């Protein structure tokens, strides 16, 4: 049953993002989501959401492009009339040791994983009423990586955790909560190879599933999480325990 609320998921066409889109739609939200490539996959996800009874909007938008970020928020509000929940999941994974790390990979990581996250939040809360929900998808690498070559990615995710902690103070007067989910090794097409390589560090001896991350996002988007803000919640099978 539709609950009258609208969610926007940046980076929602695959993996964890797609699982969040489907979960929020299942919770009754109308859902817009952005994608960069594979329009066929994005259209298929939108069709699945609509078959299940919620409205969906697939938006082509590169999170490295500030104008595209703002346009995605505007398109969502223009299509559905409001914005209640934003999930910032868009990100890139560029690994490499410091002696050979490319400047273009550094710039892209910061542009999407840090600047893009801030700009998505800034654009979304400008169109959001009181009591909205902001959720970022970080990484447990902000706490510990366990292997060489991940310094830039970990830095970007640590920046998100710190950003969320402090933006909570900016948004509190409007009763908008903001929280950060930090998944560990999760089976997605972007991280499958790395996740399998780090499985040995997971005490539960398995990889996470996108639906498990989506379930935490669902709770944070709901009324029961109204007293939690500025937090980073790690969901990683005990990797950083």
Active-site annotation holds for 227: no
Find residue 39's DSSP bridge partners: none
Query: Which are the contacts of 23, defined by CB distance < 8 A and separation ≥ 6?
Result: 211, 214, 215, 217, 218
Q: Cβ atoms within 10 A of the Cβ of 232, count?
A: 21
Helix 39-51 and helix 15-26: axis angle, to 10°? 20
Burial code (b: 16+ CB inside 10 Å, e: under 16) for 78-90 equals: eebeebbbbbbbb
Cα(107)–Cα(197) distance, integer angstroms: 26
Side-chain-side CA neighbours of residue 106 (13 Å): 8
**CB-count exposure of residue 50 (10 Å: 0-12, 13-18, 19+):** middle
The catalytic site residues sit at 153
């Amino acid at each position: 049953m539709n609950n009258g609320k609208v969610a926007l998921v940046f980076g929602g066409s695959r993996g964890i993002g797609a699982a969040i889109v489907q979960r929020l739609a299942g919770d009754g939200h109308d859902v817009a989501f952005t994608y960069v490539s594979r329009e066929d996959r994005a259209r298929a996800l939108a069709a699945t959401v609509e078959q299940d009874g919620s409205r969906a909007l697939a938006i082509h938008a590169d999170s490295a492009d500030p104008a595209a970020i703002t346009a995605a928020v505007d398109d969502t509000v223009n299509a559905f009339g409001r914005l209640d929940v934003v999930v910032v999941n868009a990100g890139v994974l560029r690994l490499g040791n410091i002696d050979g790390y490319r400047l273009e990979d550094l710039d892209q990581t910061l542009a999407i994983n840090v600047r893009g996250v801030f700009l998505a939040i800034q654009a979304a809360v400008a169109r959001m009423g009181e009591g909205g929900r902001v959720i970022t998808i970080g990484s447990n690498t902000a706490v510990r990586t366990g292997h060489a070559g991940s310094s830039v990615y970990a830095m970007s995710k640590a920046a998100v955790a710190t950003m969320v902690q402090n933006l909570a103070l900016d948004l509190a007067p409007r009763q908008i909560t903001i929280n950060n989910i930090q998944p560990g090794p999760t089976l997605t097409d972007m991280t499958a190879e790395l996740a399998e390589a780090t499985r040995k560090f997971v005490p539960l001896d398995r990889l996470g599933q996108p639906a498990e991350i989506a379930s935490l996002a669902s709770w944070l988007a709901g009324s029961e999480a109204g007293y939690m803000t500025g937090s980073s919640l790690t969901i990683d099978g005990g990797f950083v325990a």
